[in-house]
Amino acid sequence: MHQAPPIPAKPRTIFYIDGLNLYYGAIRQTPAVKWLDIERYCKLLRLHDDIRLIRYFSALIAGPTRVNQECYLRALATTPLIEVTLGRFKIKNVKCGVTGCTRMGSKWFLMPEEKRTDVNIAVFMVDDAYRDLCD
């Protein structure tokens, strides 16, 4: 009797998403700005994978839209596949670098700078690979 070949295992996949880059780089001025179903989106991207986890990294913004961001992050955290990790913002002084500005090089501004997101992503990637959680 002929035996069927074994079905290959689906690749075990973990997504690592930089939330602020996703928002400002891809969805800010699209209909998805109100609500992006990240789990569904990831499943559509990798139809044949066994998605084990979706790691979403961000930092809480300042200003009036923070309430919207907090609501979205709380909703993401209720999704079994999504784990939210927060970094922070650090305020730094930057010198005006606008070409043609009469105060270029002499005017200083306070600017927020996102911290820890890139490091958190890298640490989780290495740790997940070390623990053999994904392919």
37 in any annotated domain: yes
119 in any annotated domain: yes
CA-CA distances (angstroms) from residue 95 to 20, 101, 103? 24, 12, 9
- Rounded CA Rg of the chain: 20
Cα 66 from Cα 56, distance rounded (Å): 17
* Counted domains in the chain: 1
**What pLDDT digit, counting tens, does each position of 65-110 carry?**
889 889 989 999 899 999 999 998 888 888 877 777 777 677 888 8
Task: Report which of 38, 28, 30 is spatially closest to residue 68, judged by C-alpha positions.
Answer: 28
Structural domain containing residue 52: 12-88+114-130
99 in any annotated domain: no
6 in any annotated domain: no
32 in any annotated domain: yes
24 in any annotated domain: yes
95 in any annotated domain: no
**What pLDDT digit, counting tens, does each position of 119-129 carry?**
999 999 999 99
